[in-house]
């Protein structure tokens, strides 16, 4: 689906759907009942510019808007059926609880992929891999400053002493990725570490947040993570996420048009980087 969407929309851009009613335009401001309306306006304005959409579940659940999220997921499937939807949930649990979280993501919401915290080990990831054709995108080297507290530590009992994020990248490329369903989250604020993850996981899709409002550089991000064969076929895709810079590019009645303009500019910048 990612390769198909990349070709269809000539894009590496993922638009994150993080609705904040306090930032909604005009009469919608501070009205959680308008979450669906706001998000569908963004989707409709950008659906031909993206490789994926990424709704963040907390922005819906905090306002009791899970039904609006279900409705939004159905809307995306209807208007952009070839664009994958990544549910950004960052779940992380084992056994029957993980089974329920997987059902939530793939059955209730109909997501194509879900973000997970893998730090409880493979048995916290495996229940998601029981759904054929669905993806599990594991936190690896995140863009927040506190990510270094654990992810950048070295594993003293492993030969060569790789860092935690390096070890996780190797697992996602190798023994954990039995059916090609895994991806990794790597923050745009660490381009050198994106390149290191790509070295260790040459074919795993990388979801890269942090471009735009968080200060990540689009050109450096693509050059560090995107790989293609001599004929131009992508061998290592990147899914570069931008949320606030697109969603809140405008604050008036033309907010959707402003979002489209911001998304197009970011898509073009990403494309220039991979072709330049």
Query: The tokens of 226 are what?
Result: 């995107």
Q: Largest alpha-carbon pair distance within the chain?
A: 60
CA distance 82 to 4: 7
Catalytic residue among 29, 54, 90, 134: 90
User: Would you list the DSSP string of the chain?
Assistant: -HHHHHHHHT--EEEEE---GGG--GGGTT-GGGHHHHHHHHHHHHTTS-SEEEEBHHHHHTTT-HHHHHHHHHHHHHH-TTS-BEEEEEE---HHHHHHHHHIIIIIS--SEEEE--TT-GGGTGGGGGSTT-EEEEEEE-SSGGGGGTTT-B-TTSTT--BHHHHHHHHHHTTT-TTS-EEEEE-TT-HHHHHHHHHHSTTS-EEE--BSTT-B-HHHHHHHH-EE-TTS-EEE-EEEEE-HHHHTS--STTHHHHHHHHHHHHHHHHHHHHH-
Torsion of CA 98, 35, 242, 190, to 10 degrees: -50
Q: Is 90 a catalytic residue?
A: yes
- Contact by Cβ (8 Å): 49, 11: yes
Enzyme catalytic residues: 90
């Amino acid at each position: 689906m990612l390769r198909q969407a990349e070709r269809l929309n000539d894009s590496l851009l993922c638009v994150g759907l993080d609705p904040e009613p306090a930032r909604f335009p005009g009469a919608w401001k501070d009205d959680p009942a308008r979450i669906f309306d706001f998000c569908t306006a963004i989707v409709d304005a950008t659906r031909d510019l993206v490789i994926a959409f990424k709704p963040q579940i907390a922005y819906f659940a905090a306002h009791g808007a899970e039904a609006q999220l279900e409705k939004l997921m159905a809307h995306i499937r209807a208007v952009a059926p070839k664009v994958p939807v990544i549910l950004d949930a960052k779940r992380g649990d084992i056994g029957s609880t993980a089974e329920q979280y997987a059902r939530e993501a793939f059955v209730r919401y109909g997501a194509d992929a879900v973000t997970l915290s893998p730090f409880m080990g493979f048995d916290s990831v495996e229940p998601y891999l029981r759904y054929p054709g669905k993806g599990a995108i594991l936190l690896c080297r995140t863009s927040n400053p506190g990510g270094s507290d654990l992810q950048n530590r070295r594993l003293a009992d492993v030969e060569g002493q790789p860092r935690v994020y390096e070890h996780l990248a190797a697992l996602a490329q190798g023994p954990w990725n039995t059916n090609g369903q895994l991806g990794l989250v790597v923050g745009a604020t660490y381009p050198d570490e994106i390149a290191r993850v790509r070295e260790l996981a040459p074919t795993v899709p990388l979801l890269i947040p942090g471009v735009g409002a968080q200060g990540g550089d689009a050109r450096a991000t693509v050059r560090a993570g995107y790989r293609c064969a001599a004929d131009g076929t992508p061998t290592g895709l990147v899914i570069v996420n931008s949320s606030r810079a697109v969603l809140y590019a405008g604050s008036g009645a033309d907010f959707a048009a402003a979002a489209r303009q911001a998304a197009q500019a970011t898509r073009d910048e990403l494309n220039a980087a991979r072709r330049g």
